[in-house]
Amino acid sequence: MLTQHLTGRTAFAAFALIACTALPATALANEHDHHDEHEHEHEHEHHAHAQDKRVNPAISLVLNGTYTNLSKDPAQWQISGFVPGGEEVGPGSRGFSLGESELTLSAHIDQWLYGALTVAVTPEDEIETEEAFIETTALPGGLRLKAGRFLGAVGHLNAQHAHTWDFVDAPLTHQAFFGGHYRQEGVQGTWRLPTERFIELGAELGRGSSFPGHDEGSRNGAGAITLTAHTGGELGHSHSWRAGASWLQTRAQDRPWETTDAFDTEVSNAFTGRSRMWVLDGVWKWAPHGHRGRSFKLQGEYFRRVESGELNYDLDGASAGPLSDAYRSRQSGWYLQGVYQFAPGWRVGLRQDRLDPGTVKLAGNSDNLLASQHAPRRSSVMLDWGPAENQRWRLQLSRDHAQEGVKDTQVYLQYQVNLGALRAHSH
């Protein structure tokens, strides 16, 4: 993934300068309300775009902080049996830390185009570009096009920014298969069919540099393609639902992978080949006659990934390599979560994550690298409170069994404060 970043004091100075010079005196808005009823999605985005016209550009600042208590050393954390996917995996660092705080600038460019830029300050004191895209607003026939860098529309959760999640961290599925967040640099097209029931088809064509792909700019053509289909509707006055299927194919060129081999030696490896993924997602929501005091949301996704290509083991010759041979894997996973709002501002949630190591064929490298049959899993419970529309406080407890033979008890206390203009998120 191409990410331009600054570090240390330079990062904070730049972020503060952008915020202080650009942030207008706009009303506080709640970006954590999850408007994922399909019948109102486009109307909600149109309302947000109309707000942007009054402030050009509209500014949204999300401040996020976390206190983390872990029973095991986070530096040793891993998902056994799965190739690690980058820096956005793991339980985070112990103690107090800055979460991923975001600054978004968005506006209408003209009557045809809308543009948005989201930059984030990471816990490592880096500034990186989360999204930077332009999007059409007035194409006929329910068509919409987007170009630039954006969160890929694979499944349900990936297209949402972290501050809109119902839990502190991403499910194990997203950490194992996407490295946290799958971003696309390219073009996206969606078509909302002219039917009474909500039906939307989509496609993405992009560079494919984000995990599980990997590209250092060596090819001219597209490295990743995504196809999506979603449908949904309402059942009476109290229920709504959404279901979908996604398919992702991407290519990896020398995707790096560091691990401990069968001889207990740290080795550097690289994978070159094709990665294909199928995702099923579903959401069901209940709110008695639309009442905001009580509601319930059930959400889940199932992932299946197949990778095939060549594995280059021990590139530096630190152990028994280097050695290149065939590699093939079939792995899957799922998560299921429910969130119940029992009083205005108060919610409780439960999430279950599980991964299936499936089959991993290492050919000539089977004696050098051990394929674990451990099935990583995790259970999480959370309680959060939103005393006002612009803030949320969350307590989360997780029992993590991602690493074979290790049980990690994880406790999080998180705050989120939203400042500035409302920017719609398609959930």
H-type alpha helices, 209-266: none
**Residue 254: what pLDDT?**
92
Residue 402 in domain: yes
Q: How many structural domains compose the chain? A: 1
| 111: DSSP letter | S
Contact 167, 173 (CB under 8 A): no
Say how far apart CA 359 and CA 215 lie, in whole Å.
26
Q: Give rounded-to-5 percent helix, strand, coil for the chain.
A: 10, 50, 35
Identify any residues that bridge with 32 across adjacent strands, giving them in sequence order: none
Residue 103 in domain: yes
Residue 134 in domain: yes
| 311: DSSP letter | E
Contact 280, 245 (CB under 8 A): yes
Residue 302 in domain: yes
- Which SS3 state, helix, strand or coil, does residue 317 take? coil
Say how far apart CA 182 and CA 208 lie, in whole Å.
10
**Angle subtended at Cα 390 by Cα 93 and Cα 43, rounded to the nearest 5 degrees:** 115
| 28: DSSP letter | P
Q: Tokens at residue 149, please?
A: 């860098």
Say how far apart CA 80 and CA 89 lie, in whole Å.
13
pLDDT along the chain (427 residues), means of 10: 44 48 40 42 47 67 95 93 78 90 92 94 86 96 96 96 94 94 95 96 94 80 93 93 97 90 92 96 91 89 97 92 94 98 96 96 91 94 94 97 96 94 53
Q: Is 155 exposed, middle or buried (0-12, 13-18, 19+ CB in 10 A)?
A: buried
**Residue 222: what pLDDT?**
85
**Residue 26: what pLDDT?**
41
Say how far apart CA 302 and CA 139 lie, in whole Å.
33
Residue 2 in domain: no
Contact 339, 296 (CB under 8 A): yes
Q: What is the CATH number of the domain that holds 295?
A: 2.40.160.10
Report how far Cα 122 is from the mean position of its chain's Cα atoms. Answer: 14
Residue 164: phi and psi, rounded to 5, are -100, 0
Residue 85 in domain: yes
**Residue 389: what pLDDT?**
86
Residue 366 in domain: yes
How crowded is residue 5: how many other Cβ atoms within 10 Å of its Cβ?
16
Contact 1, 183 (CB under 8 A): yes
Domain that holds residue 69: 8-420
Residue 427 in domain: no
CA dihedral 78, 84, 88, 90 (to 10 degrees): -10
